[in-house]
Structures are given as C-alpha cells and as structure tokens.
Structure 1
Amino acid sequence: MRMSRSRQFLAFVALFAALGLFCGPSLAQEGGDLPTSTRTGSKTGLKVPRFVSLKSDAVNVRVGPSRQHAIAWRYVRAGMPVEITQEFDNWRRIRDFEGAEGWVFHSLLSGVRTALVSPWDTDKKPVPLYRDARADAQVVTRLEPGVLGRVDSCDGSWCHLEGDNFDGWIDQNLLWGVYPDETFQ
C-alpha cells in the first residue's frame, strides 16, 4: 500500500532537495515543516495548515510539486484525512497520520472532513461513541483504532462522527483529522 519507512526517508530527503532546486523562494516564504501559527495559503487564501480528505482511491504522492517529480507512493483509499501544510501553484504538500509528507495535485483533495479514530493506539483498545456530546451519555458503539469516519461538526471537545453503521459523538482528542479545540459546523 505504501513504501517502507527507509524509502519514505529517502523520498523526504529528495523532496527537500527538489524544493530547493526547483521551487525557489516562493515556497520558502510559506513557512517550515510544523507551523507554530496559522498562515494563509498562497494560492487559495485558505488557512494553512488545514485538514482535508483524499477524493480518490488512487492518489499519487510525489516528491515535489509537479508531474515531473517522482511518485513516492500511492494512497488507495478515498476519504483518508490528510493535512495540507503548504501550497504551490496547483499542488498541495500533505502530511498523513504517520507523519509522511509529499505533494499531490489539488483536484485529488476534497474539503469533506474525515478523521481516523486514534490511529496511534498500538493496543487497539476500542473507543466509545456516544449518543450525545457528553461522557455520561449512552454508548452507541465502540470503534476500533483506525476506523475512518466523516466529521460534520466539532465543538472544541466533541465531534460528531458518522460512517458505515455508526453515528454519534466522540471525544475530539481521540481523532486524527481535526485539531485540538477546533470548532466547526
């Protein structure tokens, strides 16, 4: 499904080499790897970083922002959440939940918000999904780490998550695909 970590590291090194050689100062002006504050994307005017999702079951991730750059790996699951960390022309630099980064063409991304349930949990402990946005509400189901769902709102503490055969509220800190304390409807 994806390349090994050692190949990802080499692709990561190639990405930074390519950026320095081909993109010039316009990319450097947008900031570094992990932004300490929100900024505005140079092409869209939308905030960067921001979460989006993959639109297609086949998304090539490249080491640089053009079709001439090598394909580092391919995502094969539509709806996966990714974080846009930079914009350059019609290309978006994205980061996944494992920290892997690369460039994708903008039309392969969707503004539909999705999230993964605690993908960092190596113990695979199921997470409760509640009927209402509070810890004393009825548990409607328990979701395994890595389950993908659509997020239609967050209040800063709880997010409404729905997917195949589930619909309810989950602690916002248990999701990758939304920021801590983020609110939206």
Structure 2
Amino acid sequence: MKISTLLCTVLLACLSAAPAAADEVKTPYWASIRAGEVNMRAGPGEDYKIEWVYHRPQLPMKVLRMMEGWRLVEDPDGARGWMLARFLTRQRSALVKGQGLADMREKGSADSRLLWRVEKGVVALIDDCEDGWCQVKIGERSGYIRQDRLWGAGEP
C-alpha cells in the first residue's frame, strides 16, 4: 500500500511541475517571427481586428506579455499587438538601426578588419553579444556588428 501511495504522490508532483515550468519564462524577452506571414491583432484572439500583417521571417520582436497561447509583442517601429505564440521562435535576431551603414567586422573591435557594410533594416541572426559587439550571421556572411546598431540585441 505504501508503494502505491508513494507512486501516486510522485506522479502528482510531476504533473503539477509541468505548468510551473511554463510559467518560468519571464517577460520581456526577445523572439523572432517564425513564419512567412503573421498577423498582429488588437487583442489576444482571432476575433480581434488585424492591425498589421508581417511578411518577414526572423524579424525580431519584443515579447511583453503572455496570455494563453498569445503574446503581446512590440516590433522594431514600436507597434504593439498580439500574435499567436506558435508564429514566434526564441531564435535571436536583430534589425540593423541607426544612420548610415553599419560596419560588419571580422572580430568584435573597431580596429578589426572591415568585412562588409550593412544597410539599416537588414535582419541578422545573433550568436552572442559581448563587450558591446554582437556576433551575427546575415545569409552566408558572418561577422561582428556593434550592439548599439542592432534592435533586438541586449536586454529587452
């Protein structure tokens, strides 16, 4: 009898731990668009008006709130609305911002060899950021861009 009681207790503990793990995600956090077409809605449901339609996979989004399969997000232009969570991924990406072209360097320093110059609005996948520089990949090209030239890098 004691073994069956112990097994039931362990089973209940495991089942109750799963929802707690889902709640551990803290907002805000960075995400990116997973699909080729995603709607941003005025509220967390398919009955709400579509505010924007995005056609840009990997575009970074800041997730501000979570509600039952929906995420309140902010885009690089500051527009806020709700997206279905399944259309977002935790893959880190960033959008090049600021005036003029951003230098992509071989290493994370201003005196490192210049590889390319990147236009404002280009989306890059982020590997890691350290000492004010982010290691990025744009298509087949890799290098480092200053963190202050990227929306989606750093703390959300």
8 A contact 1:49–1:83 mirrored in 2: yes
Percent identity for Structure 1 against Structure 2: 30
8 A contact 1:43–1:87 mirrored in 2: no
Q: TM-score, normalised by structure 1?
A: 0.69
- CA distance in 2: counterparts of 1:164 and 1:65, whole angstroms: 33
CA distance change for structure 1 residues 69 and 99 in 2, over 3 Å: closer, same or farther? same
What is the aligned residue count?
136
Of residues 45, 48, 67, the one that matches 2:46 is 67
| Residue 134 of structure 2: aligned partner | 159
Q: Partner letter of residue 26 of structure 2?
A: K
Q: Partner letter of residue 144 of structure 2?
A: W
- CA distance in 2: counterparts of 1:113 and 1:85, whole angstroms: 16
Of residues 55, 79, 84, the one that matches 1:100 is 79
* Helix, strand or coil at the partner of 1:47: coil
- CA distance in 2: counterparts of 1:99 and 1:169, whole angstroms: 25
* Helix, strand or coil at the partner of 2:72: strand
CA RMSD across the alignment? 1.7
- Give the gaps of 5 or more residues in structure 1: 1-41
Alignment of 1:71-90 (within 5 A): 71-90=50-69
CA distance change for structure 1 residues 81 and 104 in 2, over 3 Å: closer, same or farther? same
Q: TM-score, normalised by structure 2?
A: 0.82
Q: Which structure has the greater CA radius of gyration?
A: 2
Q: Where has structure 1 moved over 4 Å in runs of 4 or more?
A: none
